Amino acid sequence: MDCIFCQIAAGALPADRVYEDDDTLAFPDLRPRAPQHLLVIPKRHVESLASTQDDDWAAVAACLRTVQRVARDRGLEEGGYRVVANIGSDGGQTVNHLHWHVLGGRLMTWPPG
Ligand code: 5GP
Ligand code: ZN
């Protein structure tokens, strides 16, 4: 298993497991880009939204539910927050395991770089 997010999901690499259920896991980004910066992943390996198959959509929905949950638990709903999925090389994806960034605690700018 050479995917670092699969290793984190399996507990083979350490991470602060902020929230998890059968299908999803949330943990802090190693290099936070905002006062609050979590990653939400499906536990099962899916490379990106570009390669999501019919039987992956339930996991995608579960991840978005986890995004909502962790943002709520962290008190981000009132001020707002940003959810980002980088897809492929032009999208800036560096870890090829589907994930959402949940960023909050500061004013976000637009457009992103
Ligand atoms: P991407 O660039 O693919 O959208 O996001 C990958 C994110 O994973 C980056 O923000 C990076 O800081 C984070 N990351 C990479 N390796 C690790 C790790 O081993 N642990 C954690 N917690 N985050 C990681
Ligand atoms: Zn993986």
Measuring from atom 14 of ligand 1, which residue has the nearest CA? 30
- How would residue 2 be classed by pLDDT, with cut points 50, 70 and 90? very high
Q: Where are the alpha helices (DSSP H) in 20-87?
A: 57-73
pLDDT digits (tens, 9 = 90+) for 25-75: 999 999 999 999 999 999 999 999 999 999 999 999 999 999 999 999 999
- What H or E segment, with its residue span, contains residue 10? helix 4-10
List the domains of the chain with CATH numbers.
4-104 (3.30.428.10)
How many angstroms separate the alpha carbon of residue 95 from the centre of ligand 2?
8
CA–CA distance, 82 with 94 (Å, rounded to integer): 19
Q: Is the CB of 78 under 6 A from ligand 1?
A: no
Find how far residue 7's CA is from the centre of its chain: 15
Task: Tell whether ligand 1 has an atom less than 6 A from the beta carbon of residue 15.
Answer: yes
Which tens digit of pLDDT belongs to each residue from 81-102?
Answer: 999 999 999 999 999 999 999 9
